[in-house]
């Protein structure tokens, strides 16, 4: 079989034919791996409310707000009878929305939290979240 003449610095036709499928395989593998990593890991059931809140805080500090909200939501789902933890998680979720400039969600979250302070159990609630929510609501109102 006769070989094709190849100039120096020029790739052979066979090398070019192999390069395209290899690149396609690499891109496909990369996309597959990226899609697998987008599924969040389950939150361990053994974590207590303080640990969940700390994890949420850690993610929030790294600007991973979606993951932070998942941990705060786990507090709401798993420890709905503890008013201190509930207020903490509610406030943190509303504050994340505030930091993201999602003011409609932030305002709704702060208002819902403040409604808790109108209940007969208000004396049992941590005062700092009431004060902080009122201050941030004032800022939201001022910005309108």
pLDDT tens string 100-117? 999 999 999 999 999 999
pLDDT tens, 7-26?
A: 555 555 555 556 555 655 56
pLDDT at position 40? 82
Residue range of the domain that includes 59? 49-143
Q: Does residue 21 lie in a domain region?
A: no
Is the residue at 27 inside a domain?
Answer: no
User: Is 6 a residue whose pLDDT tops 80?
Assistant: no
Task: Determine, yes or no, domain membership for 74.
Answer: yes
pLDDT band at 144 (very low <50, low <70, confident <90, very high): confident
Residue of 59, 43, 127, 45 whose CA lies nearest to 93: 59
Residue 103 belongs to domain with CATH number: 1.25.40
pLDDT number for residue 13: 57
Tokens of 39: 């599924």
Q: What percent of the chain has pLDDT over 90?
A: 69
In a domain, 2, yes or no: no
**How far apart are alpha carbons 64 and 135 in whole angstroms?**
24
Residue 137 lies in a domain: yes
Domain count, the chain: 1
Distance CA(28)–CA(140), nearest Å, equals: 45
Is residue 35 included in any domain, yes or no?
A: no
């Amino acid at each position: 079989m006769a070989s094709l003449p190849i100039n120096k610095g020029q790739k052979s036709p066979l090398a070019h034919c192999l390069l395209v499928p290899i690149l396609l395989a690499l891109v496909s593998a990369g996309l597959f791996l990226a899609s697998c990593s987008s599924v969040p890991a389950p939150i361990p059931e053994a974590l207590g409310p303080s640990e969940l809140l700390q994890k949420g805080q850690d993610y929030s500090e790294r600007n991973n707000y979606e993951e932070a909200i998942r941990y705060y939501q786990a507090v709401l789902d798993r420890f709905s009878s503890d008013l201190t933890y509930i207020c903490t998680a509610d406030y943190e979720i509303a504050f994340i929305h505030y930091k993201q400039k999602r003011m409609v969600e932030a305002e709704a979250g702060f208002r819902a939290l403040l409604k808790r302070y109108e209940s007969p159990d208000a004396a049992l609630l941590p005062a700092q979240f009431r004060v902080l929510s009122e201050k941030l609501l004032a800022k939201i109102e001022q910005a309108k």
